[in-house]
């Protein structure tokens, strides 16, 4: 049945595609390394044939590649700036027009809608310095649904049997909800596909002041909270100080690196079980946390290659400079040896949980939460995802560094080579001033500068939000 494409169009869903994806995910449970490698090889060959037949960019970049003779490590690497600059040559369906997609994602009323009745669409945050638009067809969404349903652990093992529809839960998502980002698009899609869950699910903006977010969460009293690690840490601080009363049984984190210290702090302050996941705009469920607390990679569908600064593979146990992604379930917008930008360490041993999928430690986004002095010296926490969203959406900045100089001073830096750098800096400072004033920081000192080079964090990505820099 053809889906409507105007405002309010139904989200992407294909029951037959979901059934096929479910069978494929279940089939991998008994794989040994050889069986897993065979699955990867078959899917990679099919993806290569499709991309070369329908994507002019990949036809050019992968000319002469024979997957039976040329190891993946010798295929060319692609990056987001090239793909976005050649968008029409990259995608495999002419209906995917970049201008139309940008107009679609500019309309907040369309969050969760299907573009042209066929694709779920979200925009990346631009954390690598280049924003992107990513489309997901019915097969890709079915794959994501199957991976989430079958591999996400259940901290309460009897809950799926006693309450299979989740009617006893109150779900909350706290994140960036004002744009077409993957998390809020996915949340809206879930609400609309499962109307019985809609009254049990709410989303909350991390752009609002912490006190307002705390009050809203206390009013809702969620049993399950999904948010970023930095937001979870801030809410744990609020709980420890006696300002946050609600105590969700589970806290699901993703979108940023989760350190052991933050996990312990959240679990202790909120009394919640923390379940972490690893994902990206390019491939939503890249990894999942097993019952043993280890992060497993979904490498039956996402080939992840940790490489050094020269693009050479790094051995297990060694942290990579970046990671290359090949998405084996994405055919509308192929991703083959795509520079993801995350720093990854593959464990040398398999997990004792018995899964054949590799265990990894991920250093993704490395931005800091900023704790500043508010009225009367009261600490005010500004979340990195909130600051990033303000600078991206209001000021149009993606390549920047925001440093905390002291408890009352922030410094914004932009690359001097940026076209119109002075005007861009003024826009950024104005957006920050408005945002900080709304959080009770009207007297904050804001400094700005255009510089030759911006700092990068340990992940290899631009570390855009840094606390207490005294250089």
**Strands across the sheet containing 114-115:** 114-115, 119-123, 133-136
For domain 15-363, the CATH class is: alpha beta
pLDDT at 3: 39
What value does the mean pLDDT take over residues 152-177?
A: 75
pTM of the model: 0.84
Answer yes or no: is pLDDT of 365 > 70. Answer: no
Answer yes or no: is pLDDT of 463 > 60. Answer: yes
Location of each CATH 3.40.50.12780 domain in the chain: 15-363
Residue 259: band (very low, low, confident or very high) from pLDDT cuts 50, 70, 90: confident
Answer yes or no: is pLDDT of 158 > 70. Answer: no
- What is the CA angle 143-144-149, rounded to 5? 100
User: Between β-strands 250-253 and 224-227, what pairing exists: parallel, antiparallel or unpaired?
Assistant: parallel
Answer yes or no: is pLDDT of 125 > 80. Answer: no
pLDDT at 370: 92
Angle between helices 229-240 and 260-270 (to 10 degrees): 40
Q: How far apart are CA 164 and CA 153, in angstroms?
A: 14
Answer yes or no: is pLDDT of 4 > 60. Answer: no
The position carrying tokens 């744990």 is 236
DSSP 142-208: HHHHHHHHHHS--SSTTHHHH-TT-TT--EEEEE--SS--HHHHHHHHHHHH-TTTGGGEEEEETTS
Residue 186: band (very low, low, confident or very high) from pLDDT cuts 50, 70, 90: very high
pLDDT at 2: 38
Location of each CATH 3.30.300 domain in the chain: 370-466
**Strands across the sheet containing 302-307:** 302-307, 322-327, 338-339
- Topology, domain 370-466: GMP Synthetase; Chain A, domain 3 (3.30.300)
């Amino acid at each position: 049945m053809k889906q409507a494409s105007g405002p309010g169009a139904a989200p992407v869903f294909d029951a037959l595609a979901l059934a096929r994806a479910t069978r494929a995910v279940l089939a991998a449970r008994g794989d040994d390394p050889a069986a897993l490698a065979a699955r990867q090889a078959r899917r990679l060959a099919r993806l290569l044939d499709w991309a070369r037949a329908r994507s002019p960019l990949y036809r050019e970049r992968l000319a002469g590649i024979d997957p039976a003779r040329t190891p993946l490590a010798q295929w060319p690497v692609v990056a987001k700036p090239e793909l976005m600059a050649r968008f029409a040559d990259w995608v495999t369906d002419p209906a995917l027009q970049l201008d139309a997609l940008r107009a679609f994602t500019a309309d907040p009323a369309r969050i969760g809608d299907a573009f042209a009745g066929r694709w779920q669409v979200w925009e990346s945050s631009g954390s690598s310095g280049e924003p992107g638009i990513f489309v997901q067809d019915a097969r890709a969404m079915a794959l994501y649904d199957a991976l989430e349903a079958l591999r996400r652990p259940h901290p309460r093992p009897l809950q799926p049997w006693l309450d299979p529809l989740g009617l006893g839960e109150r779900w909350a998502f706290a994140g960036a909800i004002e744009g077409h980002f993957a998390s809020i698009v996915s949340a809206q899609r879930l609400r609309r596909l499962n109307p019985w869950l809609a009254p049990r699910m709410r989303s909350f903006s991390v752009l609002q002041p912490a006190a307002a977010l705390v009050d809203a969460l206390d009013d809702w009293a969620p049993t399950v909270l999904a948010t970023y690690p930095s937001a979870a840490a801030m809410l744990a601080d609020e709980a420890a100080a006696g300002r946050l009363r609600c105590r969700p049984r589970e806290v699901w984190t993703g979108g940023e690196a989760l350190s052991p210290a933050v996990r312990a702090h959240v679990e202790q302050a909120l009394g919640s079980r923390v379940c972490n996941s690893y994902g990206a705009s390019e491939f939503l469920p890249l990894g999942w946390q097993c019952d043993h607390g280890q992060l497993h990679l979904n490498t039956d569908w996402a080939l992840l290659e940790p490489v050094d600064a020269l693009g050479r593979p790094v051995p297990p146990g060694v942290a990579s400079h970046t990671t290359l992604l090949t998405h084996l379930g994405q055919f509308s917008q192929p991703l083959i040896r795509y520079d993801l930008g995350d720093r990854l360490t593959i464990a040398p041993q398999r997990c004792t949980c018995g899964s054949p999928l590799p265990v990894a430690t991920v250093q993704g986004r490395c931005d800091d939460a900023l704790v500043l002095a508010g009225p009367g010296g009261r600490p005010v926490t500004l979340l990195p995802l909130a600051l990033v969203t303000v600078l991206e959406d209001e000021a149009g900045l993606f390549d920047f560094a925001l440093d905390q100089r002291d408890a009352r001073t922030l410094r914004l830096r932009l690359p001097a080579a940026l076209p119109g750098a002075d005007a861009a800096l003024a826009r950024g400072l104005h957006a920050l001033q408005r945002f900080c004033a709304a959080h009770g920081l009207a007297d904050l000192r804001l400094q700005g500068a255009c510089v030759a080079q911006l700092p990068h964090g340990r992940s290899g990505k631009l570390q855009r939000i840094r606390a207490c820099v005294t250089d």
